[in-house]
Amino acid sequence: MKKILLSHGDGGSQTHQLISEVFQAAFGDAELEQEHDAAVLPFQSGDLVVSTDSFVINPVEFPGGDIGKLAVTGTINDLAVSGARPAYMSVGFILEEGLEMKLLKKIVQSFAATAKEAGIRIVTGDTKVVERGKCDQLYINTTGIGYREQGVQLAYHHIQPGDRVIINGGIGEHAAAVLGERMGIPFTAPITSDCQLLHAVIKKITEEFKTVRFMRDPTRGGIATTLKEIALKTTLNIVLEEERIPVKPEVRGTLELMGLDAAYMANEGKVLLIAGPQEAEALVQFLQDIPGHEMAAAIGEVTEGSGQLLLKTEFGGTRVLDMLSGEPLPRIC
Amino acid sequence: MKKILLSHGDGGSQTHQLISEVFQAAFGDAELEQEHDAAVLPFQSGDLVVSTDSFVINPVEFPGGDIGKLAVTGTINDLAVSGARPAYMSVGFILEEGLEMKLLKKIVQSFAATAKEAGIRIVTGDTKVVERGKCDQLYINTTGIGYREQGVQLAYHHIQPGDRVIINGGIGEHAAAVLGERMGIPFTAPITSDCQLLHAVIKKITEEFKTVRFMRDPTRGGIATTLKEIALKTTLNIVLEEERIPVKPEVRGTLELMGLDAAYMANEGKVLLIAGPQEAEALVQFLQDIPGHEMAAAIGEVTEGSGQLLLKTEFGGTRVLDMLSGEPLPRIC
């Protein structure tokens, strides 16, 4: 079969063939191969961390990744910023009739390779096929289950005035790569999505830095939306310094060409860390020493306040930033 | 807002409004309301049971249910047949631009009511919006997490020759209701989907009947596909007696009108039980005494063999049944 047919979704012999030849061949997990309706897995007592995301990105392949890599990365990073060690993952595919089998296999391979790198087991899955024109190639849902690391205490209520806001690299790269690819914008310099697994870096940070109060990956809505959410939850203010926010010039240029602000653009390999001032400099240095995180920077500070996000501009003024609102930027992840 | 807009999926303020006014209002779980990227949940040590399903049913409302009720029921039943007590659920929505907000709210209410009845907590979720024509109203993914009940031992390898195959009621009702509704077939008698939660009945069965070796809910592909899978996994034969398989006459009639065989049609409130012969009669009686399960019957037997599913017809012949193959019956669940 060169293309996905509706009968690949009927639950019968062709569904079984697809599962066995494409999914199991790539994922190779003993529990998955049982083909039960549910996976049965050992779990130590403690806290379970669960995160789910659906991925509908267009195009499904983009500079720096594809929907398969993204679907694993997104869920792993959500677990990691919650202080969890990834353990198990479920995956649900919605496939469009007519999808090229070659493309599906490529994406599934990418999914499997990323899961292997993350050390997470793919333990149960589901496949549906919808008619041509009722989906766009394929959508993927991943649900990740992790163990809460012992001793990791991350919560909004640990955040204090004086804490620093740190980011591990340049912002807006994922959105610029995807939107540029979608709209066929010729880049002066190649732009690659920052799509990357963060669990290993985050694990080291939580081991070595004890004043990290909170972490969050600024995906849809960008750093501004994520930080505004944190400000609202804590009813503290967050003050950003525009000139300290790292943005690669080609990313800024591409986004400005589209009239978009990098602070509101999706990232897929970035983490915002809120940490005590005494460790901020060392934490930034620690990050900068890791390949791929050289642009890490302290970009702002938590202050007493009332849930506002403020931006000190390069020209000396101060702007109030709100969440992303009304921007139709569909299918960026 | 009367309709879903692309900006409801941008991760900004309108996404937050949708989550808070529609999803959190209906689901009302303390962990969900934290709006973290992941839910942190207590778990006793033991076995974790995980099941995932995407729901793409068309139409989204059908006699006896809707996609919301179905999305909870499908996952709860998968956990239940695996011998698990439902604990936590994640939900991922993919919404089509232009979806009526009124319809979304109705489906979310139905989802919430079914989850409440099942006693499962909705602890984390995700919402994406795709452009008009890239989805069909809405698709839902649910991933359920349960505790394995102590002492429950269900596995293919417990199945023995002589065991009986029992079903808790008439087959093909879900498919007949959905296909009939979709195709506008006028029913002589109203046909309702069997979409129902099975966790309570299954819990009682596992408490009271000790020779139950295996359970499975025959959804896509119907009882024939599910039993063929069991035959293949055990390399035993399963022999069904056609005249003992319960099918409501109006269901059989509607399916025959469409040229479809009830044995291959999806069910959403049925469970196939493989149990020792000594308990079979009592188990059927037990089921028949529960409202909604009056048509329960022992429909066949496990024999020595080589992985075949055989049907003794009403006319005295024997037919070999295979899995459903090549039937384009899309979006039945």
Structure tokens at A101: 């089998």
- Count Cβ–Cβ pairs < 8 Å, chain A vs chain B: 278
Encoded tokens for B244: 């003992």
Q: Residue B93: helix, strand or coil by DSSP? A: strand
- Strands B84-96 and B121-130 come out as parallel
In a structure prediction context, what are the per-residue pLDDT tens digits for chain A, which is 333 residues long? 799 999 999 888 999 899 999 999 899 888 888 877 788 887 777 789 999 999 999 999 999 999 999 999 999 999 999 999 999 999 999 999 999 999 999 999 999 999 999 999 999 999 999 999 999 999 999 999 998 877 778 889 999 999 999 999 999 999 999 998 898 877 777 899 999 999 999 999 999 999 999 999 999 999 999 999 999 999 999 999 999 999 999 999 999 988 999 999 999 999 999 999 999 999 999 999 999 999 999 999 999 999 999 999 989 999 999 999 877 688 999
What ipTM is given for this predicted complex?
0.95
The C-alpha atoms of residue B134 and residue B95 are separated, in whole angstroms, by: 9
The contacts of residue A30 (CB under 8 Å, 6+ apart) are: none
Three-state secondary structure call for residue B240? strand
> What's the alpha-carbon Rg for chain A, to the nearest Å?
21
Give yes or no for a contact between B215 and B199, defined as CB atoms under 8 angstroms apart: no
Q: Is B202 helix (H, G, I), strand (E, B) or coil?
A: helix
Which are the contacts of B157, defined by CB distance < 8 A and separation ≥ 6? B234
Mean pLDDT over the full length of chain B? 94
**How far is the C-alpha of A222 from the C-alpha of A220, rounded, in Å?**
5
How far CA A285 is from CA of A208, A248, A274, in Å, comes to 13, 19, 15
| All domains in chain A, ordered by first residue | 6-148 (3.30.1330.10), 156-321 (3.90.650.10)
The answer for residues whose C-beta is within 8 angstroms of residue A45's C-beta and 6 or more apart is B43, B44, B45, B46
Question: What's the rounded Cα separation, in Å, for the pair A306 and A234?
Answer: 8
CA distance A134 to chain B (A): 4
B224: nearest CA partner in chain A: A12
Q: How far is A15 from chain B (nearest CA, A)?
A: 9
∠A10-A14-A15 over CA atoms, to 5°?
55
Q: What is the pLDDT of residue B41?
A: 85
Which residues in B lie closer than 8 A to residue A4 (C-beta atoms)? none
Residue A150 three-state SS: coil
Comparing C-alpha atoms, which of A233, A42, A90 is closest to residue B35?
A233
User: Nearest by CB to B13, which of A5, A16, A324?
Assistant: A324
Asked if A91's CB is within 8 angstroms of B38's CB, the reply is no
- Distances B98 to A46, A221, B2 between C-alpha atoms, Å: 43, 21, 9
Task: Please answer yes or no on whether B128 and A54 come within 8 Å at the CB atom.
Answer: yes
Which residue of A42, A51, A328 is in closest CB contact with B37? Answer: A51
Kindly state whether B231 is in contact with chain A, defined as any CB-CB distance less than 8 angstroms: no
Contact between A55 and A136 under an 8 Å Cβ cutoff? The reply is no
B185-200: pLDDT as tens digits: 776 778 999 999 999 9
Does A234 reach chain B within 8 Å, measured CB to CB? no
Cα-Cα-Cα-Cα dihedral sign, residues B209, B214, B220, B223:
negative
Helix (H, G, I), strand (E, B) or coil at B194: coil
